[in-house]
C-alpha cells in the first residue's frame, strides 16, 4: 500500500481521524505522518473551533457590543478571547458571563456546575456544607435518572424535591 | 529522585495489574485548577507566573501524598529529559514548549504528576494500572481537598472551577482510560466502535494523547463534557462505555480463538520472533509487534513473558528513553539499531 498523501513511499502509519463524527482512515508514510502530526499539534489548541463557536451569527449588533467589553482584572477583551480561544483570568467569567453561558451550554450541554466545590473542602469534615441544587436542577436530574433507569438515585432525588417543595410552601 | 533514576524504575501504572488489565492498560484522572486573582498562564507576565509557581509549590509541600515527590523545573531540563517525561506520560507535549516558570511534580510511584503553569495554573493527574477510575478519583479528590485548604481556587457557583479554555470549565475533570483493542481492530469492528464513541461526546486518542494517531491498537478514551455533571456521574458515564467496549473486545477475542486460532497463534509468535531477532526496528513497528505479543500473553499463548515486561518495553523503546539508557544523542537510524538490541536483550533474558 502506498502513502495517501505523497503516493510514493510505502504506507507504514495507519491512522483514524474523526472529524465532525466522520471517520477517515489515512495510510501514510513515516515522513508524511510526521508532517501530519505536527499540523495536528498546532490545531490542538481548539482555539479556532472555539473562536468559531463564540461567533454571534444572528446578532451582529450584539457582537460589536461584546467585542468591546474588557475584563478590568486582566485586560483581556472579548475580541481577544475570540481570537485565541482562551480566557484571561477567573474574573473574565464574571465579565463575559452573558456571552459565555450560551457558549458553555453549546460545548457541554449545560451551563450549571454540579459537583464538588472548594468551600466543601475548606469546612471541617465534621460539618460538611453541601451546596443544595435548585428545584429546577433537581427535576432535570430526576428526569435523567428515570431515563437511565437509575431508580435508587431517582428515589433520593424525589425525596429532595419533596423536601424543597414543602419548604417553599412554608415560606 | 533524579531524572536519571526514572529509566531504572517502573511506573506504578505500568505494572499490568488491576481490574480488566488484559484490555485496560491504565486509568487516569486529571483536574484543572486555577488560582484566584492571577491571570491564566498564557495571559500572565513572568512575575505573575513566578508568583503562581511559588504559591503552588508552597502549598504542595504541605500535602501528605506529595511529600516524597520530586520537582522538575522545565527550564532546567534539556530536550531529551523533557521528552522522557512525556514518554512516561508524566506531562503533556505542550508543557515542553515555552518552558519559563513551568514545573512538574512527580511522586516516587509515578502515579501522581502535577503540572504547574501549563494551560491552567495546576493540572493534577493520577494514573492507575487497570480499569480503576473511581479509585483514581478518590485519591485525586483527597489531594484536591488538601490543596483547596491552602490555595484560593478560581471558582464560581454557576460555572464551577474556572479554566483557561471553556472546554474544561465546571468540574475541570477529564477521565481517560487507555485500552488495548487488537481483536476489534483485526476483526475490523473498531470503526463501528469509534464512530459510536464519537457520537456519545467522548474523544478517542492514540497512545500519546494529542495527535490522534492510534498505533499498535491502543486507544485512549476520555470524556469531553466537564460541566453539568458531577464527578461521579462523569466517571460512571465513562465506566459504562468502557465496560461495553471491554465486553466487545472480549467477544472478538473469543471468536478469533474459536475460528482462527492457528492464524492468531502464527501472528503472535511471528511478532515475538521478529522482536527477539530483529537488528533494526522502528518505534512504530515495535509498538505494533509488542501489541501482538501482549495479546499473546493475555490469551495464554505466550507464557514466559509477563505483562509488566511488555508494558515496560513500550516505554523504554521510545526515543528519549533509548538515548537516556545509552547516555548519548542518537540519530533516528542509530536508535533503530539500539532499539532492536535492547528488545533482544530484554526478551531473550526472560525466556
Ligand atoms: Zn508520504
Ligand atoms: Zn480576566
Cβ(B42)–Cβ(B164) below 8 Å: yes
Residues, CB-to-ion distance under 5 Å, ligand 2:
A 71, 73-74, 76, 88-89, 91-92
**Which candidate, B17, B15, B20, places its Cα nearest to that of B244?**
B20
Compute CA distances B137 → A122, B16, B205, whole Å: 19, 19, 21
Rounded to a whole number of angstroms, the distance from the CA of B174 to the nearest CA of chain A is: 13
Side-chain half-sphere CA neighbours of B202 within 13 A: 25
Number of residues assigned to chain A: 171
Rounded to a whole number of angstroms, the distance from the CA of B156 to the nearest CA of chain A is: 8
Q: Has residue A57 got a pLDDT over 70?
A: no
Q: Does A155 touch chain B (CB under 8 A)?
A: no
Distance CA B272, CA B122 (A): 42
User: Are both A103 and A151 inside the same structural domain?
Assistant: no
Residue B125: what pLDDT?
Answer: 97
Q: How many CB atoms lie within 10 A of CB A1?
A: 9
Determine, yes or no, domain membership for A154. yes
Pick the more confident residue, B10 or A29. B10
**Phi-psi map region of A126: left, alpha, beta (phi>0 left; psi -120 to 50 alpha):** alpha
Distance CA B125, CA B137 (A): 10
Q: Using N-to-C axis directions, what is the helix angle for B261-277 and B283-298, rounded to 10°?
A: 130
**Which candidate, B319, B333, B337, places its Cα nearest to that of B279?**
B337
State the count of interchain CB pairs (< 8 A) between A and B: 169
All three cell numbers of A57:
451569527
Lowest mean pLDDT among A26-40, B119-133, B271-285, B304-318: A26-40
Domain count, chain A: 3
Determine, yes or no, domain membership for A149. yes
Beta pairing class for B70-73 and B24-33: unpaired
Number of residues assigned to chain B: 351
All three cell numbers of A133:
441544587
Say how many Å lie between the CA of residue A26 and the centre of ligand 1: 11
Q: Has residue B191 got a pLDDT over 90?
A: no
User: Are both A60 and A77 inside the same structural domain?
Assistant: yes
Residue range B65-94: mean pLDDT, rounded: 93
**Which candidate, B67, B120, B123, B90, places its Cα nearest to that of B12?**
B90
Determine, yes or no, domain membership for A145. yes
User: Are both A125 and A73 inside the same structural domain?
Assistant: no
Which ipTM value was assigned to this complex? 0.89
Determine, yes or no, domain membership for A2. no
**Which candidate, B121, B6, B139, B26, places its Cα nearest to that of B70?**
B6
Of the residues A63, A80, A108, the one at which a domain ends: A108
Distance CA B15, CA B36 (A): 38
Q: What is the DSSP string of B239-284?
A: HHHHHHHHHHHHHHHHHHHHHSHHHHHHHHHHHHHHHHH-SS--HH
Q: Does A131 touch chain B (CB under 8 A)?
A: yes
Determine, yes or no, domain membership for A131. yes
Q: Has residue A160 got a pLDDT over 90?
A: no
Residue range B116-129: mean pLDDT, rounded: 97
User: Are both A89 and A51 inside the same structural domain?
Assistant: yes
Distance CA A154, CA A151 (A): 5
Q: Has residue B67 got a pLDDT over 80?
A: yes
Indicate the Cα dihedral angle A24, A30, A35, A38, nearest 10°.
90
Q: Does A115 touch chain B (CB under 8 A)?
A: yes
Residue range A53-78: mean pLDDT, rounded: 70
Compute CA distances B328 → A164, B50, B78, whole Å: 68, 33, 13
Q: How many CB atoms lie within 10 A of CB B258?
A: 8
Cβ(B316)–Cβ(B322) below 8 Å: yes
Cβ(B154)–Cβ(A89) below 8 Å: yes
Chain B residues near residue A48 by CB distance under 8 angstroms? none
pLDDT in tens, B262-293: 999 999 999 999 999 999 999 889 999 999 99
Distance CA B146, CA B292 (A): 43
Chain B 272-331, CB below 8 Å of chain A: which residues?
282, 284-285
Q: Does B213 touch chain A (CB under 8 A)?
A: yes
Of the residues A108, A135, A159, the one at which a domain ends: A108
Residue B345: what pLDDT?
Answer: 94
Distance CA B206, CA B216 (A): 9
User: Are both A60 and A92 inside the same structural domain?
Assistant: yes
Chain A 54-83, CB below 8 Å of chain B: which residues?
73-74, 76
Determine, yes or no, domain membership for A1. no
pLDDT in tens, B147-183: 999 999 999 999 999 999 999 999 999 999 999 999 9
Distance CA A166, CA B274 (A): 72
User: Are both A39 and A50 inside the same structural domain?
Assistant: no
User: Are both A164 and A151 inside the same structural domain?
Assistant: yes
- pLDDT-derived band at A51, boundaries 50, 70, 90: very low
Determine, yes or no, domain membership for A81. yes
User: Are both A101 and A126 inside the same structural domain?
Assistant: no
Residue B51: what pLDDT?
Answer: 97
For B127, the 3-state DSSP assignment is strand
Domain that holds residue A30: 13-43
Determine, yes or no, domain membership for A84. yes
Sign, Cα dihedral of B180, B186, B189, B190 = positive
- pLDDT-derived band at B64, boundaries 50, 70, 90: very high
**Which candidate, B341, B338, B342, places its Cα nearest to that of B328?**
B338
Chain A residues near residue B194 by CB distance under 8 angstroms? 16, 18, 23
Amino acid at each position: 500500500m502506498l502513502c495517501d498523501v505523497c503516493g510514493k513511499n510505502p504506507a507504514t502509519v495507519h491512522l483514524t481521524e474523526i472529524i465532525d463524527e466522520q471517520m477517515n482512515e489515512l495510510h501514510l508514510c513515516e515522513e508524511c505522518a510526521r508532517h501530519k502530526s505536527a499540523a495536528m499539534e498546532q490545531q490542538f489548541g481548539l482555539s479556532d473551533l472555539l473562536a468559531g463557536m463564540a461567533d454571534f451569527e444572528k446578532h451582529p449588533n450584539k457582537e460589536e457590543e461584546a467585542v468591546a467589553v474588557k475584563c478590568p482584572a486582566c485586560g483581556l477583551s472579548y475580541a481577544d478571547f475570540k481570537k485565541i480561544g482562551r480566557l484571561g483570568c477567573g474574573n473574565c467569567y464574571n465579565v463575559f458571563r452573558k456571552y459565555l453561558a450560551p457558549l458553555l451550554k453549546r460545548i457541554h450541554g449545560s451551563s450549571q456546575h454540579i459537583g464538588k466545590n472548594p468551600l466543601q473542602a475548606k469546612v471541617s469534615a465534621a460539618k460538611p456544607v453541601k451546596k443544595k441544587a435548585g428545584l429546577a436542577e433537581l427535576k432535570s436530574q430526576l428526569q435523567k435518572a428515570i431515563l437511565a433507569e437509575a431508580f435508587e438515585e431517582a428515589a433520593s432525588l424525589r425525596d429532595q424535591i419533596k423536601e424543597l417543595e414543602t419548604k417553599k410552601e412554608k415560606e | 529522585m533524579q531524572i536519571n533514576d526514572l529509566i531504572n524504575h517502573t511506573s506504578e501504572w505500568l505494572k499490568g495489574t488491576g481490574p480488566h488489565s488484559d484490555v485496560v492498560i491504565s486509568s487516569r484522572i486529571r483536574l484543572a485548577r486555577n488560582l484566584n486573582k492571577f491571570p491564566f498562564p498564557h495571559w500572565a507576565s513572568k512575575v505573575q507566573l513566578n508568583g503562581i509557581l511559588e504559591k503552588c509549590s508552597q502549598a504542595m509541600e504541605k500535602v501528605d501524598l506529595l511529600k516524597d515527590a520530586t520537582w522538575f523545573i522545565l527550564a532546567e531540563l534539556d530536550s531529551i529529559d523533557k521528552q522522557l517525561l512525556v514518554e512516561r506520560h508524566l506531562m503533556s507535549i505542550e508543557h515542553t514548549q515555552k518552558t519559563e516558570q513551568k514545573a512538574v511534580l512527580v511522586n516516587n510511584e509515578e502515579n501522581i504528576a502535577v503540572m504547574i503553569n501549563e494551560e491552567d495554573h495546576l493540572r493534577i493527574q493520577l494514573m492507575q494500572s487497570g480499569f480503576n477510575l473511581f479509585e483514581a478519583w478518590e485519591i485525586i479528590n483527597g489531594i484536591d481537598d488538601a490543596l483547596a485548604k491552602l490555595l484560593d481556587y478560581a471558582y464560581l457557583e454557576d460555572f464551577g472551577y474556572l479554566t483557561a479554555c471553556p472546554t474544561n470549565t465546571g468540574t475541570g475533570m477529564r477521565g481517560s482510560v487507555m485500552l488495548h483493542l487488537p481483536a476489534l481492530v483485526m476483526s475490523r469492528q473498531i470503526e463501528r466502535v469509534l464512530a459510536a464513541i464519537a457520537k456519545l461526546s467522548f474523544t478517542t486518542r492514540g497512545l500519546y494523547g494529542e495527535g490522534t494517531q492510534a498505533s499498535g491498537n491502543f486507544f485512549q478514551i476520555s470524556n469531553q463534557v466537564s460541566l453539568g455533571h458531577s464527578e461521579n456521574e462523569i466517571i460512571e458515564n465513562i465506566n459504562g462505555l468502557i465496560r461495553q467496549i471491554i465486553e466487545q473486545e472480549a467477544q472478538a477475542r473469543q471468536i478469533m480463538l474459536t475460528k482462527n486460532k492457528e492464524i492468531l497463534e502464527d501472528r503472535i509468535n511471528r511478532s515475538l520472533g521478529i522482536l527477539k531477532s530483529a537488528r533494526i526496528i522502528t518505534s512504530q513497528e515495535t509498538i505494533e509487534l509488542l501489541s501482538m505479543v501482549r495479546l499473546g500473553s493475555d490469551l495464554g499463548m505466550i507464557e514466559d513473558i509477563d505483562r509488566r515486561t511488555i508494558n515496560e518495553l513500550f516505554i523504554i523503546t521510545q526515543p528519549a528513553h533509548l538515548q537516556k539508557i545509552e547516555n548519548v544523542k542518537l540519530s533516528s537510524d542509530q536508535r533503530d539499531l539500539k532499539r532492536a538490541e535492547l528488545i533482544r536483550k530484554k526478551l531473550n533474558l526472560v525466556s
